[in-house]
């Protein structure tokens, strides 16, 4: 039991909450409840500064660093079926100098879209192979984050060039070519899946 308001004792709600956050990095309210921490206890731990609320129903330890990739982990917790894509995926793979203010996520056209305060989310809608192919699972602070591969992301940039700009797509292709000089076949394969092969072909020929 807890002997005082400032002490974390064995098997206390604080210990259970902090143990979960240490392992997972982030936790939703329901994750904490499953660990034996009630909603009232969650509120008390937050008020005491032992845990920090970073979004609606999403918590982390008070010493967890605020990082760019931390936003990706938070987004993955909030939208488990989403895939980090476009500008956020380019940034993750080091294929752009841009620093997006939003986390770009690809979700199914009929998927539920949460309303959250943080991090800001930007959704694009896909289905079938364009949503399921080229997905990698990356560990970000103990959170499994689904991210499109570098090659798939480049193809997606041409698919959504009207949203992000053709110049960004071309910059991404050139950066990918420098990082993966023998990987253009993968970009072509994903361009076919995205049905933008004709669009990307002259650019691939130019950098090939």
Q: pLDDT tens-digit profile of 129-142?
A: 999 999 999 988 77
Distance (Å, rounded) from C-alpha 84 to C-alpha 121?
10
Over residues 140-183, the pLDDT tens digits come to 877 889 999 999 999 999 999 999 999 999 999 999 999 999 99
Range with the poorest average pLDDT among 72-76, 89-93, 121-125, 147-151: 72-76
Instruction: Indicate if the pLDDT at residue 50 is higher than 50.
Output: yes
pTM of the model: 0.72
What distance in Å separates the CA atoms of residue 167 and residue 172, rounded to the nearest whole number?
Answer: 9
Position 134 scores a pLDDT of: 97
- Average pLDDT over the chain reads 85
- C-alpha angle with apex 140: 134 to 146, nearest 5 degrees? 25
Instruction: Please state whether 141 falls in left (phi above 0), alpha (psi between -120 and 50) or beta.
Output: left
Region 183-207: mean pLDDT is 95
Q: Of the segments 5-9, 110-114, 145-149, which one has the largest average pLDDT value?
A: 145-149
Query: Taking 50 as the threshold, does the pLDDT of residue 3 lie above it?
Result: no
Token readout for 42 is 């969650």
Round to whole Å and give the CA distance between 128 and 143: 25
Mean pLDDT computed over 22-28: 70
Specify the pairing of strand 26-28 against strand 103-108.
Answer: unpaired
Q: How confident is the model at residue 122 (pLDDT cuts 50, 70, 90)?
A: very high
- pLDDT band of residue 66 (cuts 50, 70, 90) is low
- SS3 readout for the chain: CCCCCCCCCCCCHHHHHHHHHHHHCEEEHHHHHHCCCCHHHHHHHHHCCCCEEEECCEEECCCCCCCHHHHHHHHHHHCCCCEECHHHHHHHHCCCCCCCCCEEEEEECCCCCCCCCCCCEEEEEECCHHHHCCEEEEEECCEEEEEECHHHHHHHHHHCHHHHCHHHHHHHHHHHHHHCCCCHHHHHHHHHHCCCHHHHHHHHHHHC
What pLDDT sits at residue 4? 43
Q: What is the pLDDT of residue 156?
A: 98
Whether the CB-CB separation of 207 and 177 falls below 8 Å is answered with: yes
Question: So what's the pLDDT on residue 34?
Answer: 84
């Amino acid at each position: 039991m807890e002997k005082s308001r400032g002490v974390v004792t064995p098997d206390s709600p604080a210990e259970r909450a902090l143990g979960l956050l240490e392992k997972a990095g982030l936790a939703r309210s329901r994750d904490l409840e499953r660990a034996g921490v009630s909603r009232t206890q969650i509120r008390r731990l937050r008020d005491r500064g032992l845990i920090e609320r970073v979004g609606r129903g999403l918590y982390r330890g008070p010493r967890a660093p605020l990082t760019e990739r931390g936003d990706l982990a938070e987004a993955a917790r909030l939208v488990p079926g989403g895939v980090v894509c476009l500008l956020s995926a380019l940034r993750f793979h080091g294929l752009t100098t841009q620093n997006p203010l939003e986390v770009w996520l690809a979700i199914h056209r009929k998927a539920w879209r949460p309303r959250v305060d943080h991090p800001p989310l930007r959704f694009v809608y896909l289905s079938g192979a364009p949503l399921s192919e080229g997905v990698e699972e990356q560990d970000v602070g103990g959170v499994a984050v689904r991210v499109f591969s570098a090659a798939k992301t480049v193809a997606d940039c041409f698919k959504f060039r009207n949203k992000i700009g053709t110049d960004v797509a071309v910059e991404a292709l050139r950066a990918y070519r420098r990082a993966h000089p023998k990987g253009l076949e993968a970009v072509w394969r994903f361009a076919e899946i995205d049905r933008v092969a004709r669009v990307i072909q002259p650019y691939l020929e130019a950098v090939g």
